[in-house]
Amino acid sequence: MRLEDKTVVITGAAAGIGQATAERCAEEGAHVIVTDVDTDGGEEVAADIEADGGEATFYELDVTDSEEFHAVIDAIAEKHGLDVLVNNAGTGHPGGSLESLEDEIRDFVIDINIKGVWNGCHAALPHLKEQGHGAIVNVGSLASILGLPKQAAYSMSKGAVLNMTRAVASEAGPYGVRANTVCPGFTETSLLDQFLERQDDPEKARKQMIAQYPLKRLAEPEEIADAILFLASEESSFVNGHGLVVDGGFSA
């Protein structure tokens, strides 16, 4: 098993890509630490993993709170060890031109998508560097490499995630710690549903979205989880500072 005896911490793991990643890592032998602000959802994911024979523990975590992030990571490292951090928690925003977006929306996106990833790296790196091994996988987006129209704040935040990952990879590599980013295309999650529900014609918007993908479908969370698993495991032992695009050919 690819993650046997490893402790993998996943943020935003109560649903969507985070949940799929937690389940996939558990299948590969990891002790999965499920974290989320959604206590009920997170506890349910952890319980389901254990019911299926895996090992999982839930910790409530608001990624925007630096002190809380440090406290949770310190507690996990002391009790369970720490081998992999998956900074998955993220958010989007309603579509609109840059000048129409309110400062509150911009700041909300920055707090979760940028500061949340920063806080995770800031908390985990001392532990990973001290022990001389480990991996960080940050979840970016197609918006990490493309400027999406009417998604300026989101594009800014996900672009920052990719470049932050490169900086971490450069700094932490000499200590045996790798950092990479997964850049998914649109994925069948509740976040996508919320995005489509804000459109004038959600069904038409979905069809138009699918038409842009050469595979003529959107990603399933499990497909993104497999990419995260690869970057978290030793199968990617010489992959560092990379943005792995998983978009069904959209960017091609």
Residue 183, phi then psi, degrees to nearest 5: -120, 90
The 3-state secondary structure of 115-128 reads HHHHHHHHHHHHHH
Spatial contact of 227 and 182, defined as CB atoms under 8 Å apart: yes
pTM of the model: 0.95
29: left (phi over 0), alpha (psi -120 to 50) or beta: left
| CA-to-CA dists, residue 56 to 27, 47, 138, angstroms | 11, 7, 20
State CA 26 to chain mean position distance. Answer: 16
- Name all domains of the chain by residue range, CATH numbers in brackets: 7-184+219-244 (3.40.50.720)
Alpha-carbon gap, residue 122 to 55, rounded angstroms: 26
Cβ count near 240 (within 10 Å):
19
pLDDT at position 187 is 93
CA atoms within 13 A on the CB side of 252: 8
CB 12 within 8 A of CB 36: yes
Residues recognised as catalytic: 154
Please list the pLDDT of the chain residue by residue as tens digits (252 residues).
999 999 999 999 999 999 999 999 999 999 999 999 999 999 999 999 999 999 999 999 999 999 999 999 999 999 999 999 999 999 988 788 899 999 999 999 999 999 999 999 999 999 999 999 999 999 999 999 999 887 899 999 999 999 999 999 999 999 999 999 999 998 988 877 777 777 778 888 889 889 999 999 999 999 999 999 999 999 999 999 999 999 999 998
Q: Quick count: other Cβ atoms within 10 Å of Cβ 118?
A: 18
